[in-house]
Amino acid sequence: MEDFSVEKISNKFVEEVKEKFLNPLPGLEAQLKMAPEIRRKQMEIPDDARVAGVMILLFEIDKKWNTILIRRAEDGQTHSGQISFPGGKNEKFDADIIATACRECEEEIGVKRNDIEVLGTLTPIYVPPSNFIVTATVGFIANAQNLKADEKEVHEIIQVPLEFLFHPKLKKEQEVKPNLMSPTYHLDEKIIVWGATAMLISELEHLLNLPKPRKERIRIRK
């Protein structure tokens, strides 16, 4: 007899997340918990702000839920070398911001659009340094074994268990740039998440409201 227990657990979690998106989102209040102090003073969105989409993938391995972060390639751009979710700017040919996130996700880490079940979108967030309004799409994938980093855009792919990512002991206030203090998700000495990505993770954490987390290991793929 086949064991459908894992599939049932997956389906239950996915349906629960979908239902959470039907209710009001945690929004800016949750995002600002992980925002630098200077960010709180930059709330006004200029008329010339551009639009971008990122993808937060959720997938299950050994009955534990994970997501994917990437370290961007050192290319001299605004967010060069930083930890983020897969994503990029909206193009005229994208049907909507979800299409943007799905396209960028396929381009950067090789996840095909048809393999992603979209669960919902988080609250759009303005990113002053790049002048982008970023919307995060949350999606489910059944298999994350064949991810492949685009060498031009992605230095490494970082697989992170949600229990680890949300662990309160990983949240630290630290200097992320000269004279700039910020709350961070300090995953290890080389993987420090801050800024817009940390703010989106904070909203995701409040949305999912998972049981008390335990520390797990990170998996990094080049």
Contacts of 50 (CB under 8 A, 6+ apart): 89, 90, 130, 131, 132, 133
Structure tokens of 24? 């009001």
Q: Which residues contact 55 (CB under 8 A, 6 or more apart)?
A: 85, 86, 87, 101, 102, 104, 105, 111, 116, 136, 137, 139
Q: What is the pLDDT along the chain (222 residues), one digit of tens a residue?
A: 344 344 545 689 999 999 999 999 999 999 999 999 887 777 788 999 999 999 999 999 988 999 999 999 876 565 568 899 999 999 999 999 999 999 999 999 999 999 999 999 999 999 998 999 999 999 999 999 889 999 899 999 999 999 999 999 999 999 998 999 999 999 999 999 999 999 999 999 999 998 876 666 666 665
Q: What is the pLDDT of residue 215?
A: 62
- Model pLDDT, residue 218: 66
* Predicted pLDDT at 62: 86
87: tokens are: 């994503």
Domains of the chain: 5-33+45-168+196-221 (3.90.79.10)
pLDDT value for 1: 39
Dist CA 162 CA 180 (whole Å): 27
